[in-house]
């Protein structure tokens, strides 16, 4: 699969087969994540990988509580009925952890960007594209309170749990969502 095929073909997966993912495939997608760019090559990411269903259950339980809280705060009608059962289907979870102390020179700017977060996001993109190229489905999940995820996985307070990536063989591939065109999102300057 070429790069563009992976980018244009990847979809978020919320329906996983009851089939474990081979360790060598997990190893490969983690290697891809480690090749993401980062400011000053600080590599501010860490990953926790588990195939133990107890963690899926704990993430779902805390996320159900978070979902209800957000539904009240936001007023969004779709949120209370948003089904999180895919969290129980994913045979592998990968927790993405950022280290805010591993920013590059931008941390010294007057209006710094969160370089560690941007770098971890690039690592997740690499991971998800590698998974897709290997026939796996993924979902970047972040509907949780960070403190809850820290407790569940024993993550220290100085680290930032950025997301939980659900990984598995897709039961079905979703249809591509509508995307705006280049003319709507890009400005070319002479």
Q: For the chain, what is the mean pLDDT?
A: 94
* Domain boundaries of the chain, sorted by first residue: 3-173
Instruction: Report the percent of the chain where pLDDT is more than 90.
Output: 83
CB 156 within 8 A of CB 97: no
Strands 137-141 and 92-98 turn out to be: unpaired
- Tell me the mean pLDDT in the region 185-190: 95
| Whole-angstrom distance, CA of residue 92 vs CA of residue 127 | 13
pLDDT score recorded for residue 38: 94
pLDDT score recorded for residue 116: 92
| Whole-angstrom distance, CA of residue 96 vs CA of residue 110 | 28
CB 98 within 8 A of CB 120: yes
Express each pLDDT in 58-109 by its tens digit: 999 999 999 999 999 999 999 999 999 999 999 999 999 999 988 877 777 7
| Whole-angstrom distance, CA of residue 5 vs CA of residue 155 | 36
The tokens describing 90, both together, are 């994913």
Express each pLDDT in 113-125 by its tens digit: 788 999 999 999 9
Supply φ then ψ for residue 28, to 5 degrees: -65, -45
CATH 3.40.190.10 assigned to domain 3-173? The reply is no
SS3 123: helix
Strands 92-98 and 45-50 turn out to be: antiparallel
**Residue 52 predicted with pLDDT over 90:** yes
Taking each helix axis as running N to C, give the angle between helix 53-74 and helix 146-153, from 0 to 180 degrees, rounded to the nearest 10.
170
Exposure string (b/e) for 42-64, b if CB count within 10 Å is 16 or more?
bbbbebbbebeeebbebbbebbe
């Amino acid at each position: 699969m070429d790069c563009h095929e992976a980018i244009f073909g990847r979809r978020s997966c919320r329906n996983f087969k009851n089939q474990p993912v081979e360790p060598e495939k997990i190893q490969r997608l983690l290697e891809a994540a480690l090749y993401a760019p980062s400011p000053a090559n600080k590599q501010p990411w860490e990953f926790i990988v588990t195939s133990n269903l107890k963690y899926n259950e704990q993430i779902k339980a805390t996320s159900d509580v978070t979902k209800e809280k957000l539904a009240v705060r936001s007023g969004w009608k779709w949120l209370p009925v948003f089904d999180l059962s895919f969290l129980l289907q994913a045979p592998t979870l990968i927790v993405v952890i950022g280290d805010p102390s591993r920013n590059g020179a931008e941390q010294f700017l007057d209006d710094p960007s969160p370089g560690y977060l941007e770098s971890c996001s690039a690592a997740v993109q690499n991971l998800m594209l590698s998974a897709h190229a290997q026939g796996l489905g993924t979902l970047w999940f972040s509907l949780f309170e960070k403190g809850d995820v820290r407790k569940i996985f024993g993550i220290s307070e100085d680290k930032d749990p950025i997301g939980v990536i659900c990984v598995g063989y897709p039961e079905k591939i979703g249809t591509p969502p509508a995307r705006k065109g280049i003319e709507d999102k890009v400005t070319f300057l002479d």
